[in-house]
Amino acid sequence: MKKIPIEEKIKLTSGQGNWHLFESDYLKGRKINVADGPHGVRVYGKPVNDGDFLSKRHLEATTLFPSASAMASTWNRSLIEAAGKTIGKECRYHQVDVLLGPGMNLKRSPLGGRNFEYYSEDPYLTSEIGQYFVKGVQSEQIGACIKHFGLNEQETMRRFVDVKIDERTMHEMYLYPFYKVIKKANPWMVMSSYNKLNGTYASESSYLLQDVLRKQWSYDGVVISDWGAIQDKVKSIKNGMNIEMPGPSSFNQTVKNALNDNTLTAEELDNSLKPLFDLHEKVEKIEKLKHIDLEKHHSVARKVAREAIVLLENDGVLPIKNNDQLVGIIGQFAKKPRINGGGSATVKPYKQEIPFDAFTKVFPKHLYADGYQENDTTDTLLAEAVNVARESELVFFFTGTTDAIETEGKDRDHMLLPKGHLEVFEAIRKVNDNIVVILSNGSALDLRALRPYSRAILETWFLGGAAANAIVDIVTGRISPSGRLQETFPLKLEHTPHYGTFPPLVNVDYHHDLIMNGYRYYDTHDYEVLYPFGYGLSYADIVYKDISWLKNPSSDKAFVTVNVTLENRSNIDAYETVQVYVGTKIRYLIKPQKELKGFEKIWLKANETKTITIELPLEAFETYDEKHHGYVIYNGTYKVSIGRHSREIYDTYQVEVSHQNRYEPRITFDYPVRFLELYYPEWFTYIEKNYRKLWWHEKEEPIWRILDRYKRHNNVTEKAMEDLIKQIKEDIKT
């Protein structure tokens, strides 16, 4: 680094183009290449102009996997690791060194325009799926870049919105996935987000980039900006940003001026470049693959697609065994499927399966009608759809959100299907009551108009290039559906926790999200939902029995163990996803009723019985503590639950945690004396022993007032009182 001129160092703090960085005549070896691709790597056949890089005409064909929301719906760690590994191979083949993904942000509202690119409303599920995706990518010696760090849960005004949040909610909910993935998978890069956090841009936040990322989490990888996120380049360098993207930067002279007037030091500049040198060493060791098998990769994508599909409704019509019946295929999505959410996730698929082609191979007797064009329909299209529905024995209705409704860069206005799609459904359901609905969307929908008149509903998400045959496999029963919802489907938008405040334009309040997000909110208020978190139907009849629990205080890795026997009482092979939740009964500790803390996806052959074990580590009981600026485990009573989903619990177990940390809220002398009685009983006892027994109403008075009364009535000296107050304050602080 000493040999590199200052001007060149300044250039190295930003990219040298849209998709590469660390290119210089002063550096040995090649430049570092990055590419978008949480659902498949996006690479270009030749350089493209700014603003034109999402056009598919410039792209090389790669495997398009199901969206992140679909991946998480598999609840299958090893399968997602395989998907990551497959994408990693394609990165090596195309000489992409770091894949810009996955997204680790949470789904805060169904209206989030980028929800398709995020895994879940739940931090634990997000962290588990995310870390296995990262492990898969990096098993190919390709770097993964987790994004967007942090609090980037909306698209509206995403470059300017200011997230107001307390430390505990921030860490326990929204930073938790980043923390766990960094600790367990160590991604090569972390991408900062566009938004502000408590008044400071995330790309310039010393709290996020220094205090949390470097000091608390000991992360030593590269911090990269989101594209165009840098507002103050000097401040970002000083506070921990390593590389501004894209480049070349327009801030080079500003940085040089700051070095000249010493508002930025040469040491700070060098420190910002060190992680890039470390990354460059890793990149030099990457061996380019000469060949890849895209057919094999497509089969991996199909496996993910099969397991991602969630069967929401089924009155017995599925699986369909009679392939000779006349079926109606209605909906433009059958011929022009919605397979991805767009934006930075845009990929040119190596192979794109078409549902119409796949269905007509299985159902030789068929009729077809477009029904709609994009969002709208016409009298002619409606008439054609009604005729097909009237003549068919069974109808497959393809519908979902369009680019105009759901994509990166904007949030949704509503949870409804397009107006034209709903008009088509309303018309065809009046002439045919055998309708199977096939949805393509990235996040929860309001399905009240469809549910009463549908014999089955399949949530297929954005299934990528292998969508069609995966859907056919489910419909025909070749595969039993095994997808489980990674987010709650509310009855309607007005029931969502942030209705009326999402999306805000400038300031957004996250302070209550510990119990005001996703299933935590619906459980806390005992609200009915359309489909609960973790929900999904199967063709198999799988029974839970012989559930037993064991507490092992000496084991951090298996502090609580649950054994459950699963019996498949059907003639079809199927997966079952067993879910374990933890809640607490510690008084005044704000916690949701239950939080997902363990799950296993189990394969059961027809009529097979299998006993499985799920181990909960001690960290499953942790809480972020603002006094210690880290996770602690409080002594107290916890309730552990096991079930099929968050609203179908089969057994609970009460466990006492001891020899950890006492729970005491952060209090001051303005708090009621009752708080001393509850959380610092030794001091409450001291006061009553040396003063007198307090009446019930006195316990409601501030601590300082009782101490003042104690001092006056007992003639306590000023010095003795100061010493006593100092002791109490020290105990409360520690």
Is 309 found in the same domain as 277? Answer: no
The CA-atom distances, in angstroms, between 111 and each of 161, 407, 487 are 16, 11, 12
Instruction: Among 657, 683, 703, identify where a domain stops.
Output: 657
Q: Between 713 and 237, where is the model more confident?
A: 237
C-alpha distances (whole Å) from 655 to each of 49, 387, 621, 652 are 60, 61, 11, 10
With contact defined as beta carbons under 8 Å apart, do 266 and 6 qualify?
yes
Taking only the tens place, the pLDDT of each residue in 147-195 is 999 999 999 999 999 999 999 999 999 999 999 999 999 999 999 999 9
pLDDT band at 51 (very low <50, low <70, confident <90, very high): low
- Residue 43 belongs to a domain with what CATH number? 3.20.20.300
Q: What is the mean pLDDT of residues 709-730?
A: 91
For 687, the enclosing helix (H) or strand (E) is helix 681-690
What is residue 148's predicted lDDT score, i.e. its pLDDT? 97
DSSP 172: I
Closest CA to 148 of 14, 337, 344, 291: 344
The verdict on residue 337 lying in a domain is yes
60 found inside a domain: yes
pLDDT tens profile 638-682: 999 999 999 999 999 999 999 999 888 878 899 999 999 988 899
Residues labelled as active-site residues: 226
- The pLDDT assigned to 344 comes to 81
- So what's the pLDDT on residue 343? 85
Q: What is the pLDDT of residues 242-261, one digit of tens each?
A: 999 999 999 999 999 999 99
Tokens of 187: 């991604």
| Closest of 93, 91, 65 to residue 79, by C-alpha | 65
* Number of folded domains that form the chain: 4
Is 57's pLDDT higher than 90?
no
CATH code, 611? 2.60.40.10
Q: Which helix (H) or strand (E) holds 656?
A: strand 648-657
Dihedral (CA of 538, 542, 548, 552) sign: negative
* Mean pLDDT for the stretch of residues 141-149: 98
Tell me which residue range forms the domain holding 617.
Answer: 542-657
Q: What percent of the chain has pLDDT over 90?
A: 90
Separation between Cα atoms, residue 504 and residue 122, nearest integer Å: 22
As a whole number of angstroms, the distance between CA 454 and CA 471 comes to 17
Return the minimum-mean-pLDDT range out of 9-13, 133-137, 201-205, 623-627. 623-627
> Which residue(s) pair with 636 in the sheet?
657
Alpha helix (H) residue ranges in 249-314? 252-260, 266-284, 294-308
At residue 70, does pLDDT exceed 70?
A: yes
Question: Is 376 in the same domain as 464?
Answer: yes
User: What's the confidence (pLDDT) of residue 526?
Assistant: 94
In a domain, 306, yes or no: yes
- Which amino acid makes up residue 491? L
**How many beta carbons lie within 10 A of that of residue 456, not counting itself?**
23
Each residue of 366-424: pLDDT tens digit? 999 999 999 999 999 999 999 999 999 999 999 999 999 999 989 999 999 999 999 99
Q: Under 8 Å CB-to-CB from 587, ≥6 apart: which residues?
A: 678
Q: Is 727 found in the same domain as 701?
A: yes
Which run of H or E residues covers position 328?
A: strand 327-330
Dist CA 102 CA 100 (whole Å): 7
| Rounded Cα distance, 51 and 60, in Å | 18
In this structure, the answer to whether residues 207 and 278 fall within a common structural domain is: yes
Left if phi > 0, otherwise alpha if psi is -120 to 50, otherwise beta: which for 103? beta
Rg of the chain in Å (alpha carbons): 28
> Which residue intervals of 103-242 are DSSP H helices?
123-138, 167-169, 176-185, 206, 233-238
User: Would the pLDDT of 720 be above 80?
Assistant: yes
**Cα–Cα distance for residue pair 269/354, rounded to 1 Å:** 52
Picking from 425, 503, 4, 8, the residue whose alpha carbon sits closest to that of residue 252 is: 8
Between CA 676 and CA 695 the distance in angstroms is 14
Burial grade of 429 (CB within 10 A; 0-12, 13-18, 19 or more): buried
Shortest CA distance to 270 belongs to which of 238, 293, 297, 295?
A: 238
491 and 349 share one domain: yes
635 with 694, same domain: the answer is no
Shared domain check, 640 and 502? no
Q: Does residue 163 contact residue 198 with C-beta atoms inside 8 Å?
A: yes
Structure confidence at residue 584 as a pLDDT band (50, 70, 90): very high
- Is residue 53 over pLDDT 70? no
Report helix angle 355-362 to 467-475, nearest 10.
40
What average pLDDT is seen over the chain? 95
pLDDT over 70, % of the chain: 98
Burial level of 677, CB count in 10 A (0-12/13-18/19+)? middle
In the block, tokens 């690479």 appear at 43
Angle in degrees, CA 284, 183, 221, rounded to 5: 35
Domain boundary (627, 657, 687) is at: 657
- The four Cα atoms 583, 586, 588, 589 give a dihedral, to 10 degrees, of -50
- 123 phi and psi angles, rounded to 5 deg: -65, -35
Query: Nearest to residue 171, comparing CAs of 509, 625, 667, 663?
Result: 625
Structure token pair of residue 289: 């693959």
- pLDDT, tens digit, 9 for 90 and up, residues 272-295: 999 999 999 999 999 999 999 999
Q: Are residues 588 and 689 in the same domain?
A: no
Structure tokens at 250: 């327009």
Residues 72 and 214 occupy one common structural domain: yes
**235 and 108 share one domain:** yes
pTM of the complete model: 0.95
Tokens 């939740």 belong to: 581
In a domain, 531, yes or no: no
In a domain, 535, yes or no: no
Q: How far apart are CA 458 and CA 249, in angstroms?
A: 47
My answer on whether 322 and 220 are in the same domain is: no
Provide the pLDDT for residue 504: 83
For residue 198, is it left (φ>0), alpha (ψ between -120 and 50) or beta?
left
| Residue 314: strand pairing partners | 456
The reply to whether 668 falls in a domain is no
Tell me how long the chain is: 734
For 251-255, 454-458, 532-536, 684-688, which range has the lowest pLDDT when averaged over its residues?
Answer: 684-688
Residue that terminates a domain, selected from 284, 319, 335: 284
- Kindly report which listed range (21-30, 118-127, 530-539, 665-674) carries the lowest average pLDDT score: 665-674
Look up residue 641 and give its two tokens. Answer: 């639950």
Contacts of 693 (CB under 8 A, 6+ apart): none
Give yes or no: residues 326 and 221 share one domain: no
Q: Sign of dihedral through CA atoms 532, 538, 542, 548?
A: negative
Tens digit of pLDDT for each residue in 319-372? Answer: 999 999 999 999 999 999 999 988 888 899 999 999 999 999 999 999 999 999
pLDDT tens digits, 433-477: 999 999 999 999 999 999 999 999 999 999 999 999 999 999 999
Classify residue 202 by its DSSP letter: G
- First-to-last CA distance in the chain? 44
Q: Is the pLDDT of residue 510 over 70?
A: yes
In a domain, 666, yes or no: no
Report yes or no on 294 lying in a domain: no
> What was the pLDDT predicted at 734?
63
